[in-house]
Amino acid sequence: MREVPAETITRVVRELCIEANTCLREDHLSALRRAFEEERSPLGREVIRQLLENARVACSERVAFCQDTGYAVFFVELGQEVRITGGTLQQAVDEGVRQGYREGYLRKSIVESPLRRDNTGDNTPAIVYCEPVPGERLRMTMLVKGAGCDNASAIKMLTPAEGVEAMKCFVVETVERAGPNASPPLTVGVGLGGTFEKAAMLAKKALVRTSGEPHPDPEVAALERELLREINATGIGPAGYGGTVTALAVHIETHPTHIAAFPVAVNIDCHSHRVREAVL
C-alpha cells in the first residue's frame, strides 16, 4: 500500500488551478493557430488573433485569460493500492481549490444552493469523479468549466431505430442552438451510450482529450471528422460573428449501452479550454 498525504494532493491541485486558468495548454494553442490560418472571415480571423494575444498576455502576467474561472471539475483515477492519509480525497481537492483560487486571483463563481444562491466565497466544492484503477498511482485531470458553454449543453435519449443519423442531427442542432452564446471556436464533447448520466459524464470527459486527437476506433474517428465538418459548415464562426471555424475539435467517447437505449450527450467547451493533468 502506498500512502499519499492529503496535503500533497492539495499542493498539486493548487498549482493545477492556477496553471489551467492562466496558461492555455499547448495542444489548444496549436489548434487556435491552425484555426487562424484556416478561417476565411476577416472578422473571424481578428477574433482568433485577439484570443491568441490574450492567451500570451495572460500567461506572461499570470492572470486568468477568462474572468469566468469556472467550476473546478476533477477526473481522478485512483490506484487501488493508494491510501490517502490525513483527510479525504474531496477535502484535499477542495483545500487545493480554495488556495489556488485565492492565491491566483481567480473568480469565485460557486453558489452554495441553486435555490438560495449564496456564493461559497472560495469556489468550492469541486466536482470530483473518482474511478478506481489497478496500481499505486493517482492521476488527476482538471477541467475548468465555464457556465456560458456548459449552459449550452444537452442530452437526449434516442431510440436505437433513430440511430446514428438522429445522433448527428442532435449534435449539430445543439451547437447551432448554442451559437455565439457558447463562445466559439468550440471543443465539442459527445458521449454515446451507457445510461442517462453516464452519457453526460462521457461527454464532459471527452473534452479533456488532447485537442483534435482522433478516437482510437476508426469508426468513431470518422464520425468525429464528419461532425466537425458539419459544425464548421454552419457558418457560426469565431465569437459567432460568422466564419468557417466554429469548432476546433469534436471528441466522442462511447460506452456499452442497453438493447433499448441510445443516449447521446453533448457537452460544449468554449475557446478558453482549460485542462491540466498531474500524476502522483
Partner 1 sequence: MSGEIRLRTPLSREDVEPLRSGELVLISGVLYTARDAAHARMAAALDAGEPLPFDPEGQVIYFVGPAPARPGHPIGPAGPTTASRMDPYSPLLIERGLRGMIGKGKRSQAVKEAMREHGCVYFGAVEGTAALLARRVKEAEIVAYEDLGPEAIRRLVVEDFPAVVVNDLHGGDLYEEGRARWRRAG
How many Å separate Cα 196 from the centre of its chain?
Answer: 19
DSSP state of 38: H
Q: Contact region for partner 1 (CB under 8 A) — 11-19, 154-162, 193-201, 239-247?
A: 239-247
What Rg, from alpha-carbon coordinates, does the chain have? 19
Q: Does residue 236 belong to the site contacting partner 1 (CB under 8 A)? A: yes
Q: Does residue 95 belong to the site contacting partner 1 (CB under 8 A)? A: no
Q: Does residue 279 belong to the site contacting partner 1 (CB under 8 A)? A: no
Q: Does residue 135 belong to the site contacting partner 1 (CB under 8 A)? A: no
Cell of 164: 446514428
Q: Does residue 122 belong to the site contacting partner 1 (CB under 8 A)? A: no
Q: Does residue 119 belong to the site contacting partner 1 (CB under 8 A)? A: yes
Cell of 179: 451559437
| Residue number with CB closer to partner 1 (167 or 199) | 167
| Residue number with CB closer to partner 1 (150 or 162) | 150
| Residue number with CB closer to partner 1 (176 or 197) | 176
For the chain, how many helices (H) and strands (E)?
8, 10
The answer to whether 34 and 247 have CB atoms below 8 angstroms apart is no
Amino acid code (one letter) for 237 = G
| Residue number with CB closer to partner 1 (47 or 190) | 47
Nearest alpha-carbon partner for 186 in 243, 130, 126, 254 = 243
Q: Does residue 268 belong to the site contacting partner 1 (CB under 8 A)? A: no
| Residue number with CB closer to partner 1 (105 or 196) | 105
Q: How far is Cα 40 from Cα 22, in angstroms, rounded to an integer?
A: 29
Q: Does residue 53 belong to the site contacting partner 1 (CB under 8 A)? A: yes
Letters for 215-234 (x = contact with partner 1 by CB under 8 A, - = none) are ---------------x--xx
Q: Tell which one of 114, 116, 117, 161 touches partner 1 (CB under 8 A).
A: 117
The answer to whether 253 and 217 have CB atoms below 8 angstroms apart is no
Q: Does residue 50 belong to the site contacting partner 1 (CB under 8 A)? A: yes
Which helix or strand (DSSP H or E) is residue 154 part of? strand 154-158
Contacts of 86 (CB under 8 A, 6+ apart): 5, 6, 7
The residues binding partner 1 (CB under 8 A) are 40-44, 46-47, 50-51, 53-54, 57-58, 61, 63-69, 105-109, 117, 119, 121, 148, 151, 179-181, 183, 230, 233-237, 239-244, 270-272
